[in-house]
Amino acid sequence: MVVSSAPGKVYLFGEHAVVYGEPAVPCAIERRARVSAEARDDDRIRVHAEDLSLNGFTVEYSDSSDGAPDVDAAESLVQAGIGYIDAAVEQARDAAGEPDAGFDITVESEIPLGAGLGSSAAVTTAGIDAGTRELGVELSAEEIAERAYRAELEVQNGEASRADTFCSATGGAVRVEGDDCRGIDAPDLPFVIGFDGGAGDTGELVAGVRALREEYDFAADTVEGIGDIVRSGERALAAGDVEELGDLMNFNHGLLEALGVSSRSLDQMVWAARDAGAYGAKLTGAGGGGCIVALDPTESTETALRYTPGCEDAFRAELDTDGVRVEE
């Protein structure tokens, strides 16, 4: 049996606009998804998810004997967010040249599902790493990122950038623009995260922005404006100017709100963080509900968020310089 883990992430800048080729800067955080893979004697897949918002959920199916999982199993998989595991298994089988390999898989995640912290990318990258290693194949972080990206594309109906999966595979702060993905230097970033207990549907939110951008010039301009903010953000990162980073995060949140992907609870948490003295705050990820990220080296934002209506949890998160890795 192999156990691999991969980190979640926050977007310092650039979500949604990255889907249209603008740059983005996601940063891996020390909250991980762990996936264990044990090869079976048959071609069946048994997935058990401990903490994926569905305690103790288990599904078993076979998709290689008749070409596809039966409809009920497939629906359960997608509903449970385990569609990503199914796609990861396919990538592992493909990489190892063993299309009929069966696995017992267990997922344990510290990352809330669909909340903007990259849970699906972390589960997918860790799943590909564990599955391939269990079949005797070792892929580089870049190869895992590429396969995880293909898996996300499949589950999200062709709507995904490389940002989440690359960040989860390599760790650290990264810059993504189209197919160009690389690690960048970052100063100490005092991340504080607020979580409203909810989740957004990434596919639906991305499709909503696409529709708005096709209908209104302002939305296309807004997407480009986010790209400008990211470029300024890169300069502020290189200069280690955390105050300017905060200002730019505030601008970025305003533009995401204009694109219709914020929510009342996300806005409430963003304003609570700003009122508490954070350098800046914005939603992170696809939006619609889930998490905000703020920059504040003091305790003030975390404390204020705990008393903010709509905030279910607030915590500090460190940048994780480790990407996908085998757990001893």
Q: Which of 3, 10, 18, 82 binds ligand MEV (CB under 6 A)?
A: 18
Work out the end-to-end distance of the chain between its first and last CA atoms, rounded to an integer number of angstroms: 11
**Contact (Cβ atoms closer than 8 angstroms) between residue 49 and residue 57:** yes
Q: Which of 160, 294, 304, 317 binds ligand MEV (CB under 6 A)?
A: 160
User: Residue 69 or residue 225: which is nearer to ligand MEV going by CB?
Assistant: 225
| Under rule CB under 6 A, residue 177 binds ligand MEV | no
| Under rule CB under 6 A, residue 81 binds ligand MEV | no
Mention every residue, 6+ apart, whose C-beta is less than 8 A from residue 122. Answer: 5, 6, 7, 8, 9, 32, 33, 109, 111, 168
Which residue has 């190869």 as its token pair?
Answer: 143
What burial letters (b/e) apply to 36-59, b meaning 16+ CB within 10 Å?
bbeeeeebebbbbbebbeeeebeb
The active-site residue out of 63, 164, 296, 320 is: 164
| Under rule CB under 6 A, residue 33 binds ligand MEV | no
Smallest gap from Cβ 200 to ligand MEV, in A, equals 9
Q: Which of 285, 289, 310, 323 binds ligand MEV (CB under 6 A)?
A: 285
C-alpha span between 92 and 123 (Å, rounded): 13
116 is in an annotated binding site: yes
Residue 156 structure tokens: 């999200």
Smallest gap from Cβ 164 to ligand MEV, in A, equals 5
**Contact (Cβ atoms closer than 8 angstroms) between residue 9 and residue 118:** yes
User: Residue 15 or residue 320: which is nearer to ligand MEV going by CB?
Assistant: 15
**Contact (Cβ atoms closer than 8 angstroms) between residue 174 and residue 182:** yes
Mention every residue, 6+ apart, whose C-beta is less than 8 A from residue 165. Answer: 121, 124, 125, 145, 148, 149, 151, 152
297 is in an annotated binding site: no
236 is in an annotated binding site: no
Smallest gap from Cβ 296 to ligand MEV, in A, equals 23
**Which one of the spans 130-138, 158-166, 236-244, 315-323 is the region binding ligand MEV (CB under 6 A)?**
158-166
| Under rule CB under 6 A, residue 163 binds ligand MEV | yes
Q: Is 63 one of the catalytic residues?
A: no
Please give the annotated binding residues for ATP, written as ranges: 112-122
Tell me the catalytic residues. 164
